[in-house]
Amino acid sequence: MNLLEVEQFLIQCSEELGWSDEWYKERIEGIQNTGEFHPTYDELVFGARVAWRNSNRCIGRLFWKSLQVFDERNLETEEEIYEALLRHIQFATNAGRIRPTITVFKSGSVCIWNEQLIRYAGYKTKDGIIGDPSSLVFTEVCQKLGWQGEGSHFDVLPLVIQVDNRKPVLFNIPKEYVLEIPIRHPQYERISELNLKWYAVPIIANFKLNIGGIEFEAAPFNGWYMGTEIGSRNFADINRYNLLPKVAEILELNTSTNSSLWKDYALLELNIAVLHSFKEEGVNIIDHHTAAQQFKLFEQQEAENNREVTGNWMWLIPPMSPATTHIYHKSFTNVIKKPNYFYQIAPYLLEKQTIETDLYK
């Protein structure tokens, strides 16, 4: 425990939440007596929400105060943790009316190996990669631990939970917990022939939450998707599903020359299909223009509260038509304020080298 960091956090609590000086004094005294800082539920909620507010890469921060916080720090066994993760998935999914949610597990003991709770497997075969290439290494790890996928392009990976130094335990997510959206286009019916789908809720599981210097290594959290994450990246990146050539074929675009802008056409129609499909299924998703407008409101809100908005410009601009948003035309200081969420490398990657393909060489 670093008392200075704890003090900084608790001062922030008292300032922003209006907790009294007496409360602060007593709280600090108690912490000094035990030598340990265990955030109360209210401190945990505030810490998790401010950590979102401080997430420099996130365009969706307007809603930071609405984050639902589940305190599962008392759970001990892999089984119990698995059940809490299913509760998270169900609560957050909410039949499509997605709720920003975080579940916090015990610090220093629980480790979730997944990158996101719901993610598609990727397999290397002699005819090329099946599924999501970004999951190749983790899929192999799951297979070594005894998991077997169906070999489709969209096999949901199992949850891999490790407690202390025990062997990690695998759990399948029952199908009824995974809301998925088949992708179709409002005009081009043949887009359905690609048999694409994506899951409704991105639940980041490999970031640790830092509150007052205490690290919660297992604290999966989610918002809802911005369309471009799926349409411009997951489906379009050449090291992901790499679908632009197939979309271009369906749309009968002239792919023999860059200057026909076939990639841009294909991207646009793919993104329209993603937004349309989610909307039709009644699943929350946001387009990048509206997300940018909401981010502007967040900036105004923060200014009114005399706080500076920190940000990471490279991540805040949408990957499609970035210059049509106000974000493109301004700059942000990328200073990391705490509480915050920090990337942590999965234990299975520590020994292994990450597979980085030489994409654009």
Does the footprint of ligand ARG cover residue 138 (CB under 6 A)? no
- For 108, the enclosing helix (H) or strand (E) is none
Is residue 64 a contact residue for ligand ARG (CB under 6 A)? no
Is 229 among the catalytic positions? yes
The pair of structure tokens assigned to 298 is 């967040």
Distance between CA 200 and CA 210 in Å, rounded? Answer: 27
State which of residues 122, 223, 227, 231 lies at the interface with ligand ARG (CB under 6 A). Answer: 223
Q: Which stretch binds ligand ARG (CB under 6 A): 176-184, 221-229, 265-273, 301-309?
A: 221-229
**Is residue 220 a contact point for ligand ARG (CB under 6 A)?**
no
**Is 83 or 229 the residue whose CB approaches ligand ARG more closely?**
229
Phi, psi (deg, nearest 5) at residue 76: -115, -40
Binding ligand ARG (rule: CB under 6 A), the pick from 229, 237, 264, 302 is: 229
Query: Residues touching ligand ARG: how many (CB under 6 A)?
Result: 7
Strand pairing partners for 285?
Answer: 225
Residue 120 has what DSSP assignment?
B
Q: Assess whether 224 carries a catalytic annotation.
A: yes
| Residue 61 is a catalytic residue | yes
Catalytic residue among 61, 78, 113, 217: 61
Instruction: Rule CB under 6 A: say whether 225 interacts with ligand ARG.
Output: yes
Q: Which stretch binds ligand ARG (CB under 6 A): 69-77, 226-234, 317-325, 332-340?
A: 226-234
From the list 158, 202, 212, 318, which residue makes contact with ligand ARG (rule: CB under 6 A)? 202
| Binding-site string for ligand ARG from residue 281 to residue 310, where x marks contact by CB under 6 A and - marks none | ------------------------------
234 binds ligand ARG (CB under 6 A): yes
Q: How far is the CB of 229 from ligand ARG (least distance, A)?
A: 4
Q: Which stretch binds ligand ARG (CB under 6 A): 11-19, 128-136, 162-170, 223-231?
A: 223-231
Whether 211 and 9 have beta carbons less than 8 Å apart is answered as yes
Between the two ends of the chain, the Cα-to-Cα distance in Å is 46
Our finding on whether 204 is near ligand ARG (CB under 6 A) is yes
Strand residues in 194-278 grouped as ranges (E): 197-199, 203-204, 207-211, 214-216, 221-222, 225-226
DSSP letter for 151, please: -
Pick from 98, 194, 219, 226 the residue near ligand ARG by CB under 6 A.
226
Q: Which long-range contacts (CB under 8 A, 24 or more apart) does 290-298 make?
A: 291/59, 291/60, 291/226, 291/318, 292/59, 292/318, 292/325, 292/326, 292/327, 294/59, 294/60, 294/62, 294/63, 295/59, 295/60, 295/61, 295/62, 295/327, 296/326, 297/62, 298/61, 298/62, 298/64
Catalytic residue among 27, 43, 58, 262: 58
What is the spatial distance between Cα 250 and Cα 358, in angstroms, rounded to a whole number?
Answer: 28
Asked if 64 is an active-site residue, the reply is no
44 sits near ligand ARG (criterion: CB under 6 A)? no
In this structure, how many other beta carbons lie within 10 angstroms of the beta carbon of residue 47?
24
- Active-site annotation holder among 52, 64, 198, 224: 224
**Residues with catalytic function:** 58, 61, 224, 229
Chain positions contacting ligand ARG, by CB under 6 A: 202, 204, 223, 225-226, 229, 234
